[in-house]
Amino acid sequence: MVSSSISQTRVWLITGCSSGLGRALAETVLEQGETVVITARNPQHIEDLAAKFPSQTLAVQLDVTKPDQVQEAVKQAIAKFGRIDVLVNNAGCEIAGVIEEISDEAVRRMFETNFFGVLEMLRAVVPYMRQQRSGHIFNISSIACFAASPGGGIYGSTKLALEGISGSLANEVAPFGVKVTIVEPNGLRTDFFTRSFALTETQIEDYQPLIEGIRQSVQELIDGGLIGDPKKASQAIIQVADSDHPPMRLALGADTVEAIKEALEFMRADVDAWKEVSMSTDFDAVVVNKLQAVS
């Protein structure tokens, strides 16, 4: 349900606006007359947006892996606009590689950007939302949480970690009128795979076919295999922001919906198949009490 009383002058803070979903969302929000704190590691990449919408934007340099820049970006936003109504944690990166040999450096880089960077943003923005007793946080996750694709284990784990804190955060801030939505996009037709994606080479011969297969799949995506429309994805996020009863999870794309359904069915099948063994691990008295309660 969409509220008719939603203000058209909300202040959005979006991370990673230089390209991809972040840029598409910033443009869409600005086109409908709202205000956006647009951020990028390289401010030159967002100068055109700031010039096109000078009265609606604040362009800020922001690398979410640098706590001082996070604090400064939020400080500038509050100083200029007095509030942050919508926070979109969009900045992210992926380095694909098999679990056995992906480097510690690559693992830490992904977690620093995709998880700890988000955590830093949350800790900087939530106090203001809590004080103003309103706000909406969008944490951009991924279809990777459900696809379990070979080579994507670390990236998927960063997004699963993000989803893990999002649910608890939603329950913590709900009493203060702050909402949290996890966004799970499919492969959007953006430049993510040419700007924010890297594939590590394998030194293990057994994995050579796998790495080559990933490389070919990524190239096929770049060549036109991406089916997600970033503009429509942006409009969907705005629709959720306008809703009085937003979802905890927003799947974007038919393939994401299907991946989630398949993952749920897979888990349900395992739970059902091993239910007797699973339930047998409680103390006998507990099992008896449960059976008596059911009867």
Which residue numbers are catalytic?
Answer: 141, 155, 159
User: In angstroms, how far is CA 245 from the centroid of its own chain?
Assistant: 20
Q: How far is CA 171 from CA 123, 149, 164, 249, 250, in A?
A: 15, 30, 12, 14, 17
Q: DSSP string covering 212-274, please?
A: HHHHHHHHHIIIII--B-HHHHHHHHHHHHHBSS--SEEEESHHHHHHHHHHHHHHHHHHHHT
Classify the C-alpha dihedral 200-252-58-172 as positive or negative.
negative
Question: Count of H helices and E strands in the chain?
Answer: 13, 9
Amino acid at the residue 107: V
- Cβ-contact 241, 32 below 8 angstroms: no
